[in-house]
Structure 1
Amino acid sequence: MYIDPAYLRTYFTRYPKKIEFSKWPDPIDGLPEELEKAHIILLTHHHKDHCKSVTVNRLRHADTLVVAPERCIKELGKDIKVIEPGEEMTFGDIEIKPVDAYNTEQGSSTRKVHHKGYGVGYLIGIGSKIIYHAGDTDFIPEMREFGGIDMALVPIGGTYTMD
Structure 2
Amino acid sequence: MKKLNIIAILATLAVVGCKETKKNQESPALDSEIQYGATIDPPEAQEEGISIAPIEHATVVLEWNDLTIYVDPVGGAEAFEGQNDPDLILITDIHGDHFNLETLEALNTKKAKIIVPQAVADKMPDTFAPQIDVLDNGDSKERFGITVEAIPMYNLREEAKQFHEKGRGNGYVLNMGDQRVYFSGDTEDIPEMRNLENIDIAFVCMNLPYTMTVKSAADAVLEFKPDQVYPYHYRGKPDVSDVNEFKSLVNSGNSNIEVVQLDWYPNESY
Does TM, normalized by the shorter one, top 0.5?
yes
Amino acid corresponding to residue 154 of structure 1 in structure 2: V
RMSD: 1.9
The question of 1:58 aligning with 2:106 is answered yes
- Counterpart residue number, 2:125: 77
Whole-Å Cα distance in 1 between the matches of residues 157 and 89 of structure 2?
Answer: 30
Amino acid at match of 2:211: T
Aligned to 1:132: 182
| Structure 1 position 86 matched with structure 2 position 138 | yes
Picking from 133, 148, 156, the partner of 2:206 is 156
1:111 to 160, 171, 193: 160
Question: Is the contact between residue 136 and residue 170 of structure 2 (CA under 8 Å) also seen in structure 1?
Answer: yes
Q: Does 1:3 align with 2:85?
A: no
Pairing 1:99–2:151 present: yes
Partner of 2:170: 120
Gaps of 5+ in 2: 1-68, 214-270
Going from structure 1 to structure 2, the CA distance change for 1:122 and 1:116 (only over 3 Å counts) comes to same
More strand by share: 2
Kept in 2: contact 1:52–1:76 (CA 8 A): no
| Partner Cα separation in structure 2 for residue 38 and residue 71 of structure 1 | 22
TM-score relative to the length of structure 2: 0.48
Larger Rg: 2
Partners of 1:103 and 1:161 within 8 A in 2:
yes
1:68 aligns with 2:120: no
**Which residue of the partner structure matches residue 196 of structure 2?**
146
Cα deviation per residue 1:67-111 (whole Å; 9 max; x = unaligned)?
A: 1111113432242211111111111221110110000126xxx63
SS of equivalent to 1:146: coil
Q: 2: distance between equivalents of 1:60 and 1:132?
A: 25
Q: Whose RCO is larger (CA < 8 A, sep 6+)?
A: 1
In the superposition, relative to structure 1, how do residues 43 and 105 fare at CA in structure 2: closer, same or farther (>3 Å)? same
Preserved CA contact (<8 Å) 2:148 2:175: yes
Residue 27 of structure 1: CA displacement?
Answer: 6.7
Amino acid at match of 1:4: D
Offset at residue 36 of structure 1 (A): 4.5
Distance verdict in 2 for CA 1:160–1:86, change over 3 Å: same
Distance 1:86 1:60, change over 3 A: farther
In the other structure, the counterpart of 1:42 is 90
Which residue in 2 is equivalent to 1:13?
none
User: For structure 1, which runs of at least 5 residues remain unmatched after alignment?
Assistant: 9-25
The aligned amino acid for 2:210 is: Y
Identity of aligned residues (%): 30
**Kept after mapping to 2: 8 A contact 1:129/1:150:** yes
Structure 1's consecutive aligned runs of 4 or more residues displaced over 6 angstroms after TM superposition are none
Normalising by the residue count of structure 1, what TM-score does the alignment of the two structures yield?
0.78
